[in-house]
Chain A
Amino acid sequence: DVKVTQSSRYLVKRTGEKVFLECVQDMDHENMFWYRQDPGLGLRLIYFSYDVKMKEKGDIPEGYSVSREKKERFSLILESASTNQTSMYLCASRKGYGYTFGSGTRLTVV
């Protein structure tokens, strides 16, 4: 089975901090995604990546950037964390129609 690992389950950061959320997949998938999940809004796509060093903006990229230096790792970066970025962040990996999600990182910005 494909495994998608997110480095932290819970994270508390201060406003203005630079925050890195890491995601690693072990099945050589080209496509990787970062979503945030908020009550009543469901899952919203922040960024996705087709391949190494490739990235595309999703629906809500403002305040975020990403890095894909190696195929297995897709990092989400909050350049200057703000309280409205408090959310559950989910990474996913995809091949064809098969999708695998990580277990999520619940980020609180105080």
Chain B
Amino acid sequence: KNEVEQSPQNLTAQEGEFITINCSYSVGISALHWLQQHPGGGIVSLFMLSSGKKKHGRLIATINIQEKHSSLHITASHPRDSAVYICAAPTGNQFYFGTGTSLTVIP
């Protein structure tokens, strides 16, 4: 059993569509990370959130600590959003990672 489950694994969208990626976790955490990895690239941190909602440009992340669930939304998606999105749950000295959602946005 994975401590962090993401869905969907793969996602293809038309440019302009609203996108949602979901993350459920079973470990107790105080904060959750959303990470982005472009093809062949390193990983950058998009959000770290412990409650409610955070917004950065067209990206919105929400978390419900009681339900152990988080979502990443992309509004008005663009081909440059094509990347792998990973949710990560820190606990103790470890991070538990989801296996990632590979997003392709088609022009």
B31 at the interface (CB under 8 A from A): yes
Name the residue in B48, B86, B88, B93 with the highest tally of chain A Cβ atoms < 10 Å from its Cβ. B93
In the complex, A6 Cα to B41 Cα: how many Å? 12
Given A97-B33, A99-B45, A99-B95, 13 further pairs, Cβ under 8 A: A33-B95, A42-B86, A42-B100, A43-B86, A45-B95, A48-B94, A97-B90, A98-B45, A99-B88, A100-B45, A101-B45, A102-B42, A104-B42
Would you call A104 and B43 a contact (CB within 8 A)?
Answer: yes
Kindly state whether residue A66 has any CB partner on chain B within 8 Å: no
The B65-89 residues at the A interface (CB cut-off 8 A) are 86, 88
Give the residues in chain A near B43, CB-CB below 8 Å: 90, 101, 104
Q: List residues of chain B with CB within 8 A of the CB of A98.
A: 45, 48
Q: Interface size on B (CB < 8 Å)?
A: 21
Interface bits A40-58 vs B (CB < 8 Å: 1, else 0): 1111010010100000100
Closest to B100 in A: A42
**B35 CB → nearest A CB, Å:** 7
CB distance from A26 to the nearest CB of B (A): 15
B residues with a Cβ closer than 8 A to A are: 30-31, 33, 35, 40-45, 48, 86, 88, 90, 93-95, 97-100
| B contact residues around A90 at 8 Å (CB) | 42-43
Q: How far is the CA of A50 from the CA of B94 in the complex (A)?
A: 11
Partner of B98, one of A31, A42, A99, A101: A42
- Within 8 Å by CB of B93, from A48, A102, A104, lies A48
Interface residues on A, range: 20 to 34
Residues of A contacting B94 with CB < 8 Å?
A: 45, 48
Chain A residues with CB under 8 Å of B40's CB are 106
CB neighbours (8 Å) of B31 from chain A are: 97
Nearest A-chain residue to B31, judged by Cβ: A97
Cα A58 to Cα B44 in complex, Å, equals 22
B97: chain A residues within 8 A (beta carbon): 42-43
Instruction: Tell me, yes or no, whether A103 is within 8 Å of chain B by CB.
Output: yes
